[in-house]
Structure 1
Amino acid sequence: MIYHGCRYFQRKKSGHYCFAVIPYDVRGAMGFAVGTIGDHMIHKVRRIAQSIGSLGALLSFYCLILSLKYAGRSWNIIWDIAASLYFSLTLILLAWAGGNTENTEFCNGFQIISPKVGDEFLKNDKIEVVLTKGISIIEEVNNIDLYNSTSGKFVKSLWKGTQSFGDDGKASVNVKLAVPKHTELPGEFILKSWGTTLEGPSCFTISGNFTIDPRLC
């Protein structure tokens, strides 16, 4: 007979009971495999795939519960239950780890590639800030802020808006280095930029140190 997809076999003569919980375990393994493959896809597909992996693990665990329910008092089934428990917990942990992979890869490669370390500019110069997406899932750049790299203090917001990445994985924004009058020059500065996904989560990146001078010789 079949109990909710878990096969239940009974040998009437010997009274031996045996459970085969492999069907749900296989589903869990396949679900996690899909989740792993999906981790290399765009974020929308990835989340769906990881959900399938988690669902597969939960189905495997559900099969374990049914096995315990219908096990009776036969000690011959202990190995089936132990194997199912081990595999179920493993799948759940792997699915959880797969979901957390997204956090570690979220900003991977998102960076400011221009200006570069050591660049020098005059006050009020207009410069092009270039960002690269890398293998991150960032979709848009939302601001460019100027900070003093020595003190770490915020100086000024140079740009706010929405700039998407091109087919080459780069985004560029033109800004003017119009620092406030009280800013001590020459000085070392950095740019900070926030990037977001279409669904809201965000992370930031900073440029290398560059110099702003009231005059260059």
Structure 2
Amino acid sequence: SPFKEMCKGFKFDNKFTEVRNGEIVEVKWSKGESKMDRIANCEMFGEGNKKFWKQLWTGNLKFDNSKVLTSKIKFEVPKGTKLPTFILLRTWGVSDKGPQCTIVT
């Protein structure tokens, strides 16, 4: 399908298994063969992807001639969150031609 071609190979390549609250980590995106031109954000979800917690990073990181992008984000869960807990990250790849690709890790 045309949509699958738009997102083909787009990855949010992060294999975190344990991160401490307040820790700053580097995250990585790969363009692959996708039509994505830039990364719009990185969001944190809790409770098994049921509850949006916060934007960890937002901006306009452009692939330009690069196939890989990185950015540093700070993991901070909302006050009162019982730790340890399971979280998910969601990111948006954006194409200047329209479609967007979303990945959850």
The residue aligned with 1:193 is 91
User: What's 1:142 paired with?
Assistant: 40
Aligned-residue RMSD, C-alpha = 1.7
Larger C-alpha radius of gyration, 1 or 2? Answer: 1
Q: Which of 15, 31, 48 matches 1:133?
A: 31
SS at match of 2:32: coil
2:6–2:99 CA contact under 8 A, matched in 1: no
Instruction: Provide the rounded CA distance (Å) in 2 between the counterparts of 1:193 and 1:168.
Output: 18
For 1:107, the equivalent position in structure 2 comes to 7
Which amino acid in the other structure matches residue 125 of structure 1? E
| Deviation of 1:164 (Å) | 1.4
Residue pair 2:26, 2:72 contacting (<8 A) in 1 also = yes
Runs of 4+ off more than 3 Å: none
* Corresponding pairs, count: 105
User: TM-score, normalization: structure 2?
Assistant: 0.88
- Local SS of the residue matching 1:106: helix
User: Which gives a bigger RCO, structure 1 or 2 (Cα 8 Å, sep 6+)?
Assistant: 2
* Cα separation, 2, equivalents of 1:149 and 1:172: 26
Partner of 2:21: 123
- Structure 2, gaps ≥5 residues long: none
Give, in whole Å, the separation in 2 of the partners of 1:167 and 1:203. Answer: 19
More helix by share: 1
Distance 2:34 2:94 in 1: 10
Aligned partners of 2:12 and 2:30 also within 8 Å:
yes
TM norm structure 1: 0.45
Q: Distance in 2 between matches of 1:151 and 1:139?
A: 26
Report the 3-state secondary structure (helix = DSSP H, G, I; strand = E; otherwise coil) of the residue aligned with 1:134: coil
Q: Distance in 2 between matches of 1:140 and 1:147?
A: 22
